[in-house]
Copies of this chain bind each other. A is one copy, B any other.
Amino acid sequence: MGNEGSYVTLGLKTWNAQIDRADKLFGGLSSEEILREIAPGRNRLLYLWGYLTAVHDAMLLLLSGERLHPEFDVAFVSNPDKSRADIPSHEQVRRAWNAVNAELRKGFEKLSWSDWVQRHSAVSEEDFAKDASRNRFAILLSRTNHLSYHLGQAVLGRK
């Protein structure tokens, strides 16, 4: 295996490890536990899970695909927690989280090594010419860290 493949494999391994962690953490919560706050006065676990789902859903655009749940943005991105009564239910968030991450995994597996260092669809050709680090691998690394950041918070709400 050439070195390029090793880097991509390691990047995906780290991503998958964090997804597995999130699956266990959020997936194991009861319908009461999911309504707990991560700390007094902070976001509830349901909001955080929905928010991560929305952010990952937007990653489907990296694969030139279409989003599965753009409607999550109103509930979990553009508005703060507890500001709206009509947000997706625990079960809807669970299904969307699983569907979005399964779709990402499928798409990631289809990419060739060189696809990872190509520009993603949210960057113009002009901007990419100026800064070639705005590629898919960069997004993978930053979104993996984004997930870790919020997992560190979610774990505080669990117990």
Majority secondary structure of chain A interface residues (helix, strand, loop or mixed): helix
Cα–Cα, bound, A82→B13 (Å): 36
Q: How many copies does the complex hold?
A: 2
Chain A, 29-61, CB within 8 A of any chain B CB? 38-40, 42
Contact A9 B133 (CB under 8 A): yes
Contact B38 A137 (CB under 8 A): no
Contact A137 B10 (CB under 8 A): yes
Shortest CB distance A158–B (Å): 12
Contact B14 A145 (CB under 8 A): yes
Residue A95 at the B interface, CB < 8 A?
no
Besides A4-B7, A6-B132, 10 more A-B contacts (Cβ < 8 Å) are: A3-B4, A3-B117, A14-B141, A14-B142, A38-B39, A141-B141, A145-B148, A148-B148, A148-B149, A150-B152
21 pairs of residues in contact across A and B, judged by CB atoms under 8 Å: A3-B117, A4-B4, A4-B7, A6-B117, A6-B132, A6-B137, A7-B8, A9-B133, A10-B133, A11-B141, A14-B141, A14-B142, A39-B39, A42-B156, A145-B148, A148-B148, A148-B152, A149-B149, A149-B152, A152-B152, A152-B153
